[in-house]
Amino acid sequence: MADLTDYTAVKLLSLLQAGELTSTELTKAYLDRIEACDQKIGSFLRTDPEESLKHAAAMDRRRNAGESPGPLAGLPIALKDNLCTRGQTTTCGSRMLENFKPPYDATVVEKLREAGAIPLGKTNLDEFAMGGSTESSALGETCNPWNTTCIPGGSSGGAATCIASGMSPLSIGSDTGGSIRQPAAFCGVVGLKPTYGRVSRMGLVAFASSLDQIGPLARTAEDAALLLEVIAGHDARDSTSLDQSVPRYRSVLQQPLKGLKLGVVEEHFGEGLDAEVESAVRESIRVYQELGAKITSVSLPHSEYAIATYYVIAPCEASSNLARYDGVHYGYRTDENILHATLKQQRSGLSATDDEQALNNLDSPLVRLYRQTRAEGFGAEVKRRIMLGTYALSAGYYEAYYLKALKVRRLIRQDYDEAFREVDLVIGPVTPTPAFPRGSKIDDPLAMYLGDLYTVSANLAGVPAISIPCGFSNAGLPIGLQLQGPPLSEDRLLQAAHWFQKETAWHQRRPALN
């Protein structure tokens, strides 16, 4: 048998179902691959080989006993470390939650277990999923498998790299402003951000609640369809979960594309788009034309405001979602002895200078506990966004920033509604450039944010979007193609992606890791 870790999930599943492969063998193959490669890549924050093999053996036993153990039975899967796993550390890449063990499973994790998937481990991410490079993780570095001096993208950097480097056939990421699609593009894999509400957020550690959505990463659209079918669906524990039945995505894939109306987003081919990315995307549009799609041009006129809108709404929600990390009920707490000693010193210093006002303003031990805990527990990017969001929501600024952004968000949504009256899906790049060198934007947050130009709109509008490998730069870095559709058009997106992959071989290239 050829290297198992090179196969698609769909292929592996058929081997498992045919009894030609055991889950134990398969899981072992991936664990070996992780052992061999992950030191170089850093996809995983934690694996538990023993635990994974135990699950695999149980699955094998059930299959041997003639049971039908679920649609993903025996297939290994990697989980982004912002998905809560019962009794197992869930860190969000943050010092704040380094030792946090949730007493419950995320709904998605529950569904995966029920489907028989074998958890391989938890993957690295930007701290609390805030970032586009996975560099803000406090707990590990992740490299781009195509060029380890480059960033893998983010925030689902570990989720994308483990697929690209054959360390897992499937993985789960989360996407708030492009966090699945952008690393998928940078690593040459498929990544889907479903419609807001399609997948339950219960147990996904919130970054920006009205934008966050869980989605699959895989090598092929077919694999992504297989996974989405399992994780999608209504959940009574998430008030924003959509109460709509889940289509059989995999059977829709096979239907021909003929007559598909694709809209090329004018605004996504403007200034700032890298020439190599542009030509790869334009070439892809030609592929669709050959597949029988009808190509027209569409406008999303408020696109230029998307980043500004996003970088108000996301930090505002984040500042509130992250208020709970205060060192009181769980997570990191600063050293209280040092805290009391420091305060005492500061108090006596101020008393000596008779600075009554400063003395009055000195934090109480409790307030200092909060502030010091959060100063030590959070990294720079998280703090920046908390500060930004706190400022934008504070008295006197709410209307100018937050409320204004909510209104522009509506305009962005209306642009999509307008476009989808004309076309089935819109097409364009995922990112303005391929992956960039590690450290190159770390001190320029705004430059980093501007890289989210083409991805944030889908989150703001709540529409689904997929990233598919569509070429490589001269430097050998992958380039991604983005398709976006109206709400609940995941079937259409996957179908379009599937036919593209039948015509192209970009997704079959593998990075050289040895």
Partner 1 sequence: MKSQQAWRRGKKMSLTRNEVERVSLLARLQLTEDDLETMTTQLNQIVGYVEQLAQLPTDNIQPMAHGVERFNVFANDERRPSLPCDEALTNAPRRDDDCYLVPAVLGD
Partner 2 sequence: MMSDKPYKIVIGLETHVQLLTETKLFCRCQNRFGGPPNTQTCPVCIGLPGTLPVMNRKAFQLSLITAIALNCEVPKFTKWDRKSYYYPDLPKGYQISQYDLPMSQNGWLEISDPQGNFDSKRVGIIRAHLEEDAGKSMHDELAGKADSRIDLNRTGTPLLEIVSCPEMYSSLEAKTYLTELKLLLTYLEVSDCNMQEGSLRVDANINLHVDTPQGKVATPIVEVKNMNSFRAVERALDYEAQRQYSEWQEAGKKLGDVPKQTRGWDDGAQVTRAQRSKEESSDYRYFPDPDLVPVIVEPEEVEQVRQSLGELPAVLRKRLQTDYSIKPYDANVTVNQGPKFAEYFIRLAETSGDPQQASNWMQQEVLRTLNEESWAVDEFPVTPDELSQLLQAVQKGEIDRSRAREVFREMTMQGNSFQQAMQSLGIEQVDQSALLQLCEQLLTEFPQIVADVKAGKQQALGRIIGEAKRRNPNVNPGQFRQPCLDLIEQK
Number of residues that bind partner 1 (CB under 8 A): 76
Residue 155 is a catalytic residue: yes
The torsion of the CA quartet 360, 364, 365, 366, rounded to 10 degrees, works out to: -170
Nearer to partner 1, 337 or 353 (CB): 337
Q: How far is the CB of 272 from partner 1 (least distance, A)?
A: 4
CB 477 within 8 A of CB 233: no
Interface positions, 318-337, toward partner 2 (CB under 8 A): 319-320, 322-324, 326, 328-330
Q: How far apart are CA 180 and CA 163, in angstroms?
A: 12
Q: How far apart are CA 205 and CA 322, in angstroms?
A: 10
Using CB under 8 A, which of 90, 171, 455, 467 touches partner 2?
90
Interface positions, 163-182, toward partner 1 (CB under 8 A): none
Nearer to partner 2, 354 or 399 (CB): 399
Q: How far apart are CA 368 and CA 360, in angstroms?
A: 14
Could you tell me which stretch among 97-105, 253-261, 423-431, 506-514 binds partner 2 (CB under 8 A)?
A: 97-105
Written as one letter, the residue type at 329 is H
Written as one letter, the residue type at 218 is A
Half-sphere exposure of 98 (CA within 13 A, CB side): 13
Number of residues that bind partner 2 (CB under 8 A): 45
Q: How far apart are CA 319 and CA 326, in angstroms?
A: 12
Give, for 425, the enclosing helix (H) or strand (E). strand 425-429
| Per-residue mark of binding to partner 1, 83-122 (x: CB under 8 A) | ----------------xxx-x-------------------
Q: How far apart are CA 471 and CA 279, in angstroms?
A: 9
Interface positions, 232-251, toward partner 2 (CB under 8 A): 236-240
Q: How far apart are CA 299 and CA 257, in angstroms?
A: 23
Nearer to partner 2, 295 or 362 (CB): 362
First to last CA, the chain: 20
Is 447 a binding residue for partner 2 by CB under 8 A? The answer is no
Q: How far apart are CA 132 and CA 180, in angstroms?
A: 10
Nearer to partner 2, 330 or 472 (CB): 330
Using CB under 8 A, which of 61, 236, 248, 476 touches partner 1?
236
Using CB under 8 A, which of 111, 302, 438, 441 touches partner 1?
302
Residue 80 is a catalytic residue: yes
Residue 179 is a catalytic residue: yes
Using CB under 8 A, which of 77, 92, 430, 483 touches partner 2?
92
Nearer to partner 1, 19 or 349 (CB): 349
Q: How far apart are CA 103 and CA 86, in angstroms?
A: 5
Using CB under 8 A, which of 56, 206, 262, 425 touches partner 2?
206
Nearer to partner 1, 52 or 176 (CB): 176
Is 344 a binding residue for partner 2 by CB under 8 A? The answer is no
SS3 418: helix
Nearest CA among 140, 266, 233, 225 for reference residue 496: 225
Could you tell me which stretch among 74-82, 214-222, 377-385, 467-475 binds partner 1 (CB under 8 A)?
A: 377-385
Is 281 a binding residue for partner 1 by CB under 8 A? The answer is no
CB 493 within 8 A of CB 482: no
Q: Which two tokens stand for residue 439?
A: 């450290």
Could you tell me which stretch among 95-103, 176-184, 284-292, 343-351 binds partner 2 (CB under 8 A)?
A: 95-103
Which is catalytic among the residues 43, 80, 133, 303?
80
Which is catalytic among the residues 156, 179, 200, 319?
179
Tokens 């015509």 belong to residue: 503
The DSSP bridge pattern shows strands 76-80 and 170-175 to be parallel
CB 461 within 8 A of CB 313: no
CB 225 within 8 A of CB 497: no
Q: Which does 106 bind (CB under 5 to 8 A by kind): partner 2, partner 1, none?
A: partner 2
Is 256 a binding residue for partner 1 by CB under 8 A? The answer is no
Q: How far apart are CA 45 and CA 142, in angstroms?
A: 10
Q: List the catalytic residues.
A: 80, 155, 179
Interacting residues toward partner 2 by CB under 8 A: 82-84, 90, 92, 97, 100, 102-104, 106, 201-206, 208-210, 236-240, 316-317, 319-320, 322-324, 326, 328-330, 366-367, 370, 390, 393-395, 398, 402
